[in-house]
Structure 1
Amino acid sequence: MLKDVKFQAHRLSVAPMMDWTDRHCRVLHRTLSAHALLYTEMLTTGAILHGDRERLLAYDPAEHPVALQLGGSDAADLVAAALIGEAEGYDEINLNVGCPSDRVQSGRFGACLMREPELVAECMAAMAAAVKVPVTVKCRIGVDDQEPSDSLFRLVDLCVQAGVSSFVVHARKAWLKGLSPKENRDVPPLDYPLVYRLKRERPDLTIVINGGIASLDETLAHLEQVDGVMLGRAAYHDPAILGQVDRRVFGRGEDIDAFQAVELYRPYVMGQLAKGVHLAAMTRHMLGLFHGLPGARSWRRILTVEGVKSGAGIEVIDAALAAVSGAQDERRLRRLEAGEAA
């Protein structure tokens, strides 16, 4: 049945995650899925306009399709940053209306913008008029004492009038006072049915659901109700889950296992090492590749201990891979012996 589904990258995306989804992480994720939509970390307009633009916006061509997520609330600055992102070749410009951190709130962007839907719509209209690539919104269902069925629908409807047709909805409120950003990912209850209702009552919109989704089985269940699923921590801590995405979600391609992902990632690592990039900048994203498999602990230990050393090179990954292979061979041998004994 999936083979008949028209290919659309938003069916499965990997969430923008601060300090995690940098360019090295995204290339690793791309080795596992050719079709998932990848997102940058949230980048503030100030950082893009006044910071090290080349470092912040650099990405590998293999990452496409890849979206740039912006943080900001000044329409002129957002337009300027969006134009830069478009010129750099990003496939989508996304506005963060969901991050609950104090630093983000003090800058008047992120989840606190749920209280200013008119401002969000003004910013989205300005960006939509300025760039040719899609502009999208990633939001919460509400903040603090807001009634989600009111706050979410109002934000969406105003943004639709501004020219937006695609929304990623983290299906829980954000509590801006009293909860840390970490607690805001777990404590407020999830309300998937509200997001389903949004899609049902606004069928012409592209609605992607996010929040607490931990497996591809859950992903497929959500896809019965909405247009797409955005995976966050599940994809980062257990990236091998992405190796089944092309077949199970997009209905095209074959599964990629962790061993294949390492081999596909290897040329990129070699190229970055030659440019002076520290090995740990890349291997830190690989720690979960063999999650739940024999040798996973040795894999993590070798990458963590040896990968941070000065001059660490590809031999560290080779040693870690050998440890995993050895552990899996030993397990197979034990199973064979047990079977023969039986």
Structure 2
Amino acid sequence: MSLPPAVPSHRFSVAPMMDWTDRHCRSLHRVLSKQALLYTEMVTTGAVLHGDRERLLGYDAGEHPVALQLGGSDPADLAAAARIGADLGYDEINLNVGCPSDRVQSGRFGACLMREPALVAECMAAIGAAVAVPATVKCRIGVDDQDPEESLFTLVDLCAQAGVRSFVVHARKAWLKGLSPKENRDVPPLDYELVYRLKRERPDLTIVLNGGVPDLPAAASHLEQVDGVMLGRAAYHTPEILGAVDSLVFGGGDIIDSATAVALYRPYLAARLEEGTPLAAMSRHMLGLFHGRPGARAWRRILTVEGVKPGAGLEVVDAALAAVVQAMAEREARAAA
């Protein structure tokens, strides 16, 4: 396994997203950007300690820098899970203090921990004592009827006292009652100014802004106020955004277009297919690659319809790419006529 960097850059990262940012998704994102920090899906401490670790925590060496996000609220269990993640080579251990789903509420982790900042700090102290890699927090600005200024600053200050130096802040409250997890990603209003203020008033901390960031120009605007930006759904649904991250955000590297990304991802697809991984488990993350381009509909249709068939292989990806190339050629011919 390749050696990880000592401290991952938080200048640009892709959010941990349940059911989306698995190892196949992260490997696709990595061919688009060499420098973006990638995150696993949230994995609970119980799953880490008692589940199938290869399935839950396995990753490709090419994914570095990659962070493991944990869900839990027991300091001892979090320390043990963090130690396992660090031993596996993850570059960072992150605690989820932002997910608003019913499952995490019943398990006393995720966004409901915004109401228990002292416990979060205790958890972070335990994680920090267990591992040498950075221990970070991803949180909301508050939940339900909390005053965001009080809830956010209290959580950050207590965790900073416990040794945490980096925070990812989703700039929305989470409503634990009355809104679904999906609605919690859109309905509560964004308060970017509060996150900016957090950075101004806590300049020694690394503050990363998350929530509602649609593209790289918006990310660049936020980077004038905070240390880093995290994209979630925009990066997943239009992954070509990531192809410009190294050049535009980090100031170096090539811009990778979608066709180049397919070519670069092809060896990974071939290796996993050889191991028995179904094509659909990987190609589902590729559906947005040609978003807004000629042939995008044909690309999605071929991958979706043909990719799920037994024995589907690289020929499906090649056929989908050929449809895109044909559509682009037809558009150029029409433009020239």
Partner of 1:265: 265
**Residue 3 of structure 2 corresponds to which residue in structure 1?**
none
SS in 1 for 2:172: coil
Residue 183 of structure 1 and its aligned partner are, at CA, apart by: 0.2
Indicate the percent of aligned positions where both proteins have the same amino acid.
77
Structure 1 counterpart SS, 2:179: coil
Deviation per residue, 1:179-225 (Å, 9 max, x gap): 00000000000000000000000000000000000010000000000
Residue 292 of structure 2 is matched in structure 1 by 292
* Aligned equivalents of 2:65, 2:53: Cα separation in 1: 20
1:212 matched residue in structure 2: 212
Instruction: Describe the SS at the equivalent of 1:142.
Output: strand
Residue aligned with 2:302, SS: helix
Q: Which residue of 1 aligns with 2:61?
A: 61
Instruction: Report what 1:3 is aligned to.
Output: none
Are residue 70 (structure 1) and residue 50 (structure 2) matched? no
> Is the CA contact 2:13–2:36 (under 8 Å) kept in the aligned structure 1?
yes
Within the alignment, does 1:331 sit opposite 2:326 as a pair?
Answer: no
Aligned residues between the structures: 331
Residues 287-314 of structure 1 deviation map (CA, whole Å, 9 limit, x = unaligned): 0000000000000000000000000000
| Structure 2 equivalent of residue 163 of structure 1 | 163
Report the secondary structure of 2:278's partner residue.
coil
Mapping of residues 43-58 of structure 1, within 5 Å: 43-58=43-58
Tell me the CA shift for residue 130 of structure 1: 1.1
2:142 aligned counterpart, secondary structure = coil
Amino acid at match of 2:186: D
Deviations 1:114-170 (A, max 9, x none): 000000000000111111000000000000000000000000000000000100000
Instruction: Give the match's secondary structure for 1:114.
Output: helix
SS in 1 for 2:305: helix
Secondary structure of the residue aligned to 2:59 is coil
Deviations 1:66-103 (CA, angstroms, capped at 9, x unpaired): 00000000000000000000000000000000000000
In the alignment, which residue of structure 1 is the partner of 2:118?
A: 118
CA distance in 2, matches of 1:298, 1:126: 50
CA distance in 2 between counterparts of 1:324 and 1:61 reads 31
Supply the distance in 1 between the matched residues of 2:173 and 2:30 (Cα, whole angstroms).
Answer: 31
Letter in 1 for 2:244: Q
Q: Please tell me the residue identity of whatever aligns with 1:259.
A: A
Q: CA deviation at 1:256?
A: 0.2
Partner amino acid, structure 2, of 1:42: M
Counterparts of 1:127-276 in structure 2, within 5 Å, are 127-276=127-276
Query: Which residue identity lines up with residue 300 of structure 1 in the other structure?
Result: R
Question: What is the rounded CA distance, in whole Å, between the counterparts of 1:76 and 1:128 in structure 2?
Answer: 12
Q: C-alpha offsets along residues 39-85 of structure 1, whole Å, 9 cap, x if unaligned?
A: 00000000010010111111001100000000000000000000000
Letter in 2 for 1:240: E
Determine the C-alpha separation between the residues in 2 that align with 1:46 and 1:8. Answer: 26
In 2, distance between residues paired with 1:55 and 1:144? 35
Q: Distance in 1 between matches of 2:208 and 2:250?
A: 15
Structure 1 vs Structure 2 CA RMSD: 0.7
SS in 1 for 2:137: strand
CA contact (8 A) 2:8 2:65 kept: no
Q: How far is 1:254 from its partner? A: 1.2
The CA distance in 2 between the partners of 1:252 and 1:94, in whole Å, is 27
Q: Deviations over 1:198-253 (max 9, x none)?
A: 00000000000000000100000000000000000000000000000000000010
Distance in 1, Cα, partners of 2:306 & 2:58: 27
1:173, distance to aligned residue in structure 2 (A): 0.1
Give the equivalent residue in structure 2 for 1:4.
none
Letter in 1 for 2:294: P
Deviation at 1:8, TM superposition (A): 6.1
1:9: Cα distance to partner? 2.2
The secondary structure found in structure 2 opposite 1:285 is: helix
CA distance in 2, matches of 1:113, 1:8: 26
**Deviant stretches of 4+, over 2 Å:** none
Which amino acid is the alignment partner of residue 218 of structure 2?
Answer: E
C-alpha distance in 2, partners of 1:55/1:301?
29
Contact kept in structure 1, 2:8 and 2:92, CA below 8 Å: no
Contact 2:8 2:91 in 1 (8 A): no
**Equivalent AA in structure 1 for residue 9 of structure 2:** A
Aligned to 2:303: 303
TM-score by length of 1: 0.96
Q: Which amino acid aligns with 1:45?
A: T
Residue in structure 1 matched with residue 109 of structure 2 by the alignment: 109
Which residues of structure 1 form unaligned runs of 5+? 1-6, 338-342
Corresponding letter in the other structure for 2:58: A
SS in 2 for 1:21: coil
Q: Tell me the distance in 2 between the aligned counterparts of 1:9 and 1:244.
A: 16
CA distance in 1, matches of 2:10, 2:287: 26
